[in-house]
Structure 1
Amino acid sequence: MKSLILSLGFGLFSLMAAIAQNTATLSVKIQDIASDDGMLYVGLYNSAGEWLEQTYKGESSTITNGRCEVVFKEVPYGEYAISVYHDENDNGKMDKYLGMIPKESYACSNQAPANFGPPRWDDAKFIINQETNQQIIKL
Structure 2
Amino acid sequence: MALTAAANPSPRAAELTVELENVRNAKGEIRICMTRDVEQFLKCREDPQAVKVRVAATEGESEIRVPGLSEGRWMLLVLHDENGNGKMSKSLGIPKEGFGFSGNPAIRMGPPRAEDVVFDLPAGQSSQRVRVKYIL
TM-score, normalised to structure 2's length?
0.79
Across the aligned residues of Structure 1 and Structure 2, the Cα RMSD in angstroms comes to 1.8
Q: Is the 8 A contact 1:62 1:68 kept in 2?
A: no
Moved more, 47-56 or 126-135: 47-56
Q: 1:64 to 1:54 in 2, by over 3 A?
A: closer
Task: Please tell me whether residue 130 in structure 1 is matched to residue 123 in structure 2.
Answer: yes
Structure ranking higher in strand proportion: 2
Q: In structure 2, what is the equivalent of residue 14 of structure 1?
A: none
Alpha-carbon separation, structure 2, partners of 1:65 and 1:118: 24
CA deviations over 1:21-68 (Å, ceiling 9, x no partner): 711011112111111111111111112111111341111111234233
Verify: 1:50 aligned to 2:44, yes or no.
Answer: no
Task: Output the TM-score relative to the length of structure 1.
Answer: 0.77
| Correspondent of 2:21 among 17, 27, 31 | 31
Question: Does the Cα contact within 8 Å between 2:18 and 2:63 map onto a contact in 1?
Answer: yes
In the alignment, the residues of structure 2 paired with residue 27 and residue 40 of structure 1 have an alpha-carbon distance, to the nearest angstrom, of 14
User: What percentage of aligned pairs have identical amino acids?
Assistant: 27
Q: Mark the runs of 5 or more structure 2 residues left unpaired by the alignment.
A: 1-8
Unaligned stretches of 5+ residues in structure 1: 1-17
Give the Cα–Cα distance (whole angstroms) in 1 for the partners of residues 38 and 122 of structure 2: 18
Change in 2 beyond 3 A, CA 1:53/1:73: same
Is 2:74 the partner of 1:84?
no
Q: Secondary structure at the match of 2:116?
A: helix
